Amino acid sequence: MVTSALKLADRVSQLTGLGRRPLDAEALISEALAGQSPAAFGEEFGPDQFIEGLLILLSSLEAEANLSLVGRLAVRWDVLRCLRNLLRLRREEERHPAVRTTPIRRPLIITGLPRSGTTFLHRLLDCDPAMRSPSCWQTMAPYAPLHGRDRRVEQTERELRTFARMAPGFREVHPLTAQMPQECTEITAQVFQSLRFDTTFRIPSYLAWQDAHGHALAYRFHKRYLQHLQHQSGDDADQVQWVLKCPDHVFALDAVRAVYPDARIVFVHRDPLKVLPSVAKLTEILRQPFTQHQDREEIGVQVTSRWHQGVEAMMRAASAHEGGEAICHVQYRDLTQDPIATIARLYAHFGMPLMNDAVRDITAEIKREKRGGYGRNVYHFADHGLNAQRERGFFADYMGCFGIAEEIPAL
């Protein structure tokens, strides 16, 4: 029913011209400024820094994403939200200069193949009272409005419900609420240098630019965002342990290390044959409301080639830190079969104490959310042109490098 309504809206928008309204960076920046000088953004994360990414993103969306009316409206809304957040962050820094010197010490960063248990591990660690994660609502709006009641949690819940109605199946494959910890690409998107955009839209030109350009600005901003959240809390930095998560960190490990040289990295490993069709299906679901057409086989090719690059990055990182404590490796099977024992090993690896109250709260979460809140989903390789034997060959080195057990045979 919702899908039919969206298709009708697309047809009407094309007839009326609404669906062809251009995405203009200059006009969007001017709207966000609302009469202020561009200097209101500041220099560190201002237009001189983010304009290239924004221009390439909008150009790629216009040329390659086959945007639906909803997609075009969503892009405008998202870009304006990010620009307004940048303005607000700068305003708060001027009022509270100490934000910029707030230390972020030894963040715990979870990454690895998507659909491999990274979200499950992130949510469990976030239950530890000693840990802190950016919640979904905090990544959408870092500060309460200047006037009126703070409705950020309720607003984020409404936005998630709206998206779930437009993207049937989303809740089953990626359960998310406003209070849950959110991935880091939602933060880096706010300077228009984020792999989140590629997940939501078909934008190969933007992805190629991001890979060539690197992620230095994105992670400098990421740290500043955490500094804002930590400063607002008023907690002693020595008492705060950030736990962060995003599979896409594997494509930016150099930038991660440059910004967080003391980071504790966790790689979660799983049989790629269980991962790839699930990632392809999630990509299809996420893009569905925003595009007029999808090529499922193209999605399959993109997912396979992209995560072949990802596992190679993990193997290089593991080789560079062989025998060291900088990276802790977690197997999906261990995590799902005995989460508490797996978390205990992770804490021991980094010399972190696992307190009784943390074990109690993590255990309660495991009992509360069976299957981590995920529905039962069946994925078929053929749906996205994937071939199990071929993919097994592509990822054989990865599985051998980390001793990953096969979950399904490549028949």
Q: Tell me how far the alpha carbon of residue 326 is from its chain's centroid.
A: 22
The chain-wide mean pLDDT, for the chain, equals 92
Question: What is the model's pLDDT at position 374?
Answer: 54
- Report residue 407 as tokens: 């979950």
H-run or E-run covering 86: helix 69-95
- Report residue 371 as tokens: 């299957």
Strand partners, 182: none
Interatomic CA distance for residues 13 and 16, integer angstroms? 5
Q: What is the percent of the chain with per-residue pLDDT over 90, rounded to a whole number?
A: 85
Question: What is the model's pLDDT at position 174?
Answer: 84
Residue 36 has phi, psi (to 5 degrees) of -75, 160
Interatomic CA distance for residues 235 and 129, integer angstroms? 13
Q: pLDDT tens digits for 328-372?
A: 999 999 999 999 999 999 999 999 999 999 999 999 999 987 655
Interatomic CA distance for residues 190 and 6, integer angstroms? 27
**Are 291 and 201 contacting, i.e. CB atoms less than 8 angstroms apart?**
yes
Question: What is the model's pLDDT at position 409?
Answer: 76
DSSP letter at 262? Answer: T
Question: What is the model's pLDDT at position 15?
Answer: 45
Closest CA to 100 of 216, 191, 231, 239: 231
- The yes or no reply on domain 106-142+158-402 and CATH 3.40.50.720 is no
DSSP letter at 234? Answer: T
- Report residue 151 as tokens: 């409705």
Closest CA to 342 of 242, 401, 248, 266: 266
78's CB contacts (< 8 A; 6+ apart) are 189
Residue type, 21: R
Q: What is the percent of the chain with per-residue pLDDT over 70, rounded to a whole number?
A: 92
Place of tokens 């690197």: 214
Residue 298 has phi, psi (to 5 degrees) of -65, -40
**Are 345 and 335 contacting, i.e. CB atoms less than 8 angstroms apart?**
no
Name the 3-class secondary structure at 276: helix
Q: pLDDT tens digits for 125-169?
A: 999 999 999 999 999 999 999 999 999 999 999 999 999 999 998
Within 10 angstroms of residue 179's Cβ, the number of other Cβ atoms is 13
Place of tokens 């943390």: 358
- Report residue 265 as tokens: 């990295």
18's CB contacts (< 8 A; 6+ apart) are 12, 69
* Pairwise pLDDT comparison (89 vs 171), residue with the higher score: 89
| R_g over Cα of the chain | 21
Q: pLDDT tens digits for 242-271?
A: 999 999 999 999 999 999 999 999 999 999
Q: Which runs of E-coded beta strand occur in 272-388?
A: 327-331
Q: pLDDT tens digits for 43-71?
A: 999 999 999 999 999 999 999 999 999 99
Place of tokens 């034997």: 389
Place of tokens 């990632």: 279
pTM summary value: 0.93
43's CB contacts (< 8 A; 6+ apart) are 49
Question: What is the model's pLDDT at position 410?
Answer: 65
Please give the angle made by the CA atoms of 69, 19 and 204, to the nearest 5 degrees.
Answer: 70
Helix axes 69-95, 2-16, angle to 10 degrees: 90
* SS3 assignment for 94-158: HHCHHHHHCCCCCCEEEEECCCCCHHHHHHHHCCCCCEECCEHHHHHCCCCCCCCCCCHHHHHHH
213's CB contacts (< 8 A; 6+ apart) are 52, 53, 193
Question: What is the model's pLDDT at position 380?
Answer: 85
Helix axes 2-16, 152-166, angle to 10 degrees: 90
Domain segments of the chain as ranges: 106-142+158-402
Question: What is the model's pLDDT at position 14?
Answer: 54
Interatomic CA distance for residues 246 and 359, integer angstroms? 24
- Report residue 276 as tokens: 């790839």
pLDDT over 50 at 84, yes or no: yes
